A and B are shown apart, each in its own frame.
Chain A
C-alpha cells in the first residue's frame, strides 16, 4: 500500500488574523502554524493503514520553507519520507496540478488529504486532483478501511452518511472520526530528523485565480443583554427588532 498524504501549513485555529502590506499579505507576526487539522486526521489514518497493511506513507506539501517544521512533525508521526513543492499555494487549480504531477510520477494507491484547508476553506483540491489523474475522489470521508484493492468508506452527505465500496486508486478528503490525531513520540521525533525531505521546484502551471486584497469582517455591535426573569422579551425582540422569527 503506497499512500500519499497532502498536508497544509496553516495558522492555528485560535490565531488572530490580521493583514499587512496594504492588506495584501497575512500578518504572520505571532501566528503559530500547524498542520491543517483535517490533514492531521488523514495522516493519522494513513499511518494506521501502513501499520496494518505494510507499504509506505509519503507526505506532500505545496509551500515554502517555513513549513519544514510541520513537515518534520508529520514525519515524526510516522510518515516515511516527504516532498515539498517549493511554491506558494494561492490558487486551488495550481496547487492541485502540483499534487497531480507528483502523484502521476510515483503511482500511489491512495491519496489522502483533509476535506479542506482551514485558511482558504475551499474543499476543492481533492476533486481537482482526482479529475486531473482520472481517478475517483470522495469527501468528506469519516471512515476508511482497505481490503485488497477495494476501499470501504463512509462519507458525510447532507444530514447523514453513506457507505461506499470502490476500487483503488482514490483521492479522499478526510475528516474526523476517521482516526484520532497522533502526537509524535520521542523516538519518532529523533528518527524524523534523518528521514528524507525532498524539495522540488513546481511544474509550470497556470494560475487561474489570484487574491488581490484581504479584509476583515465589520466589528460586531454590543450584545444586548436580557434578564433571565424576562426571557420572553427575547422572543419579542427577535420578532420586532431583528425580524427573524
Chain B
C-alpha cells in the first residue's frame, strides 16, 4: 500500500527535483498512514539511492537493467505499472518534467488511474482526495478531486520544502518484465549541454533578453551567473534570433522554471515570458526602461544600463565569498 515515487536519475544520481518528489511522497505517506517507496531505473549510484531515506523514503526498488539507463518513457511507464501492482500502491508521485509527464500518462492509462499534473501543494484527504494544481500557465489554481482508486500526482518544483534529515533507505533489487515493443526506437544523436546547470533544477537563474543587444554581449551575464552558481536562460526573441540556444528559452512556449531567484536582464516582461517564470520565489528585474512591465511582477528592480550594472553585481557577489 506504500506511496510509490518515481525518480529521475542524472548520471546515476537522483535529481534534486526528484528528491523533492520523494519528500512530497513521504508527507503523503504520513497523511495516509503508510510508507514511501522509491522506484529508480537503470544504472544508479547506490549511495544516491540510499540517500532518498534522508528525504523520507523507507525503501528503494531499483531495476538495474542496463536497457533502462537511457531515458525511455514507454518502458519506464511499463515498469512503474508493474511496481504499483507489486507494492499494491494507491498513490504515485512523480516530479513534473517532460519525462515525468510522459511516464505518468502512459502508466495512468495502464492502471486506469486519475492523473493530476502540476500539483502545487499536499493533498487534502478527508473522505475525498483533493489536490491543488497550477493552471493557465501559473495564472490560476484549481482544486481537483481525484476519484479513482489509483491516483497519480505529477508535482511541481517547490510544492513543499524538502528538508534533508538523516537516514538511509534500504535498496531492493526489482526485476520487471521488459517488453521488446518499448525498445523499438533507434536513438540517433544525443546533444546534451552536460556542463551547464539544468534550468529546471537550478535554484538561481540569470536570464537575458533583447536588451542584451546581441549574442556577443553575453559575457557579463555569464560571469554574473557563474559567480552566483546560476543557470542561464533567455527570452523568446533571443532564442528566435539564435543569440542563444533554444533549450535556454524560458516562457509560455519554452521551459517553465521555478527557481528561488530569477534575475531578468534586459527582458521587458511580455506576458508570455512571465508565464514561464511566475513560479519563481523572488524575481529581480534589471532594465533601462522604467516602464518595462516586468517591474510589476518583480520583487526587486534596478533601472539602469545592463552593461554597467552587471559587472558591479558580479563584483558584489564575489566580495561575499
Partner-B contacts on A (CB < 8 A): 11, 13-14, 17, 19, 37-38, 91-93, 96, 115-116, 118-128, 130-132, 136-140, 142, 152, 156-167, 175-177, 206-217, 220-221, 223-228, 231-232, 234-239, 242, 244-245
Contacts of A137 in B (CB 8 A): 73-74, 102, 105-106
Closest Cβ of chain A: how far from B16's Cβ, in Å? 12
A164 near B101 (CB under 8 angstroms)?
no
List 12 additional contacts besides A131-B106, A139-B102, A165-B186; criterion CB under 8 Å. Answer: A38-B253, A116-B101, A127-B103, A138-B73, A158-B8, A158-B98, A159-B198, A160-B191, A214-B143, A220-B296, A221-B299, A237-B300
- What is the predominant secondary structure among interface residues of chain A facing chain B? mixed
| CA A207 to CA B147, docked complex, whole Å | 8
The CA-CA distance from A125 to B141 in the complex, in Å, is 20
| Choice from A124, A158, A236 contacting B117 with Cβ under 8 Å | A124
Partner of A234, one of B144, B194, B204, B313: B313
A176 to B146 Cα, complex, angstroms: 33
Contact yes or no, B97 A158, CB < 8 A:
yes
B302 CB contact (under 8 Å) in A13, A119, A140, A231 = A231
Flag the segment in B41-49, B209-217, B304-312 that touches A: B304-312
Given A207-B147, A217-B138, A234-B284, residue A159 in contact with residue B199 (CB < 8 A): yes
Q: A137-B102, A223-B295, A228-B302 are in contact. Are A162 and B189 (CB under 8 A)?
A: yes
* Residue of A with least CB distance to B128: A212
Q: Check if B134 sits within 8 Å of A225, measured CB to CB.
A: no
Known: A127-B102, A163-B188. Contact between A211 and B142, CB under 8 A? yes
Q: Which residues of B contact A (CB under 8 A)?
A: 8, 10, 71, 73-74, 77, 97-99, 101-106, 108-110, 112-118, 130, 134-148, 154, 184-194, 196, 198-200, 203-204, 228, 246-247, 252-253, 256, 260-261, 271-272, 275, 278, 281-282, 284-285, 295-305, 308-309, 312-313, 315-317, 319-320
Q: Flag if A128 contacts B105 (CB, 8 Å).
A: yes
- Chain A residues with CB below 8 A from B204, complex form: 244-245
B106 touches A224 (CB 8 A): no
Known contacts A37-B253, A158-B98, A238-B284; A13/B115 CB under 8 A: no
A232 engages B316 (CB within 8 Å) = yes
Known contacts A166-B186, A217-B138: A124-B309 contact under CB 8 Å: no
- B interface majority secondary structure: mixed
In angstroms, Cα B261 to Cα A13, docked, is: 24
Would you mind naming 13 contact pairs between A and B with Cβ atoms under 8 Å apart?
A122-B101, A124-B104, A136-B74, A138-B185, A163-B189, A166-B184, A209-B114, A209-B147, A210-B145, A211-B143, A217-B141, A224-B299, A232-B319
Contact of B144 among A11, A119, A211, A239 (CB under 8 A): A211
Question: Complex formed: what's the CA distance from A37 to B253 in Å?
Answer: 8
Let me know if A209 and B146 touch, CB within 8 A. yes
B261 & A212 in contact (Cβ 8 Å cutoff)? no
Residue of A nearest to B101 (CB): A123
Specify which of A124, A214, A225 is in contact with B142 (CB 8 Å cutoff): A214
Residues of B within 8 A of A225 (CB): 295, 300-303
Query: How close is A231's CB to chain B, nearest CB, in angstroms?
Result: 4
Check A160/B101 contact, CB under 8 A, given A127-B73, A216-B141.
no
Provide the residues of chain A in CB contact with B146, threshold 8 Å. Answer: 208-209
Q: Which residues of A contact B282 (CB under 8 A)?
A: 238, 242, 244
Are A121's CB and B73's CB within 8 A?
no
User: Known contacts A127-B73, A127-B106, A166-B184; is A11 also within 8 Å of B305 by CB?
Assistant: no
A165 touches B142 (CB 8 A): no
Of B102, B108, B284, most A-chain CB atoms within 10 Å: B102
Find chain A residues with CB under 8 A from B71 CB. 157
Contact A122:B316 (CB < 8 A) given known A96-B109, A177-B246, A223-B285: no
Choice from A121, A221, A242 contacting B137 with Cβ under 8 Å: A121
Contact status B185-A166, CB under 8 Å = yes
Residues of B within 8 A of A242 (CB): 261, 281-282, 299-300
Across the interface, which residues of A come within 8 angstroms of B101, CB to CB? 116, 122-124, 127, 139
Partner of A209, one of B98, B116, B139: B116
Contact between B252 and A160 (Cβ–Cβ < 8 Å)? no
Which residues of chain B come closer than 8 Å to A38, judged between CB atoms? 253
- Counting chain B CB atoms within 10 Å of each CB, the highest count among A19, A175, A245 belongs to A245
User: Contacts A130-B106, A164-B185 hold; do A92 and B317 have CB atoms under 8 A apart?
Assistant: no
Q: Are B281's CB and A228's CB within 8 A?
A: no
Top 9 A-B pairs ranked by shortest CB distance?
A127-B105, A228-B304, A208-B114, A131-B109, A160-B192, A163-B188, A124-B105, A235-B316, A122-B117
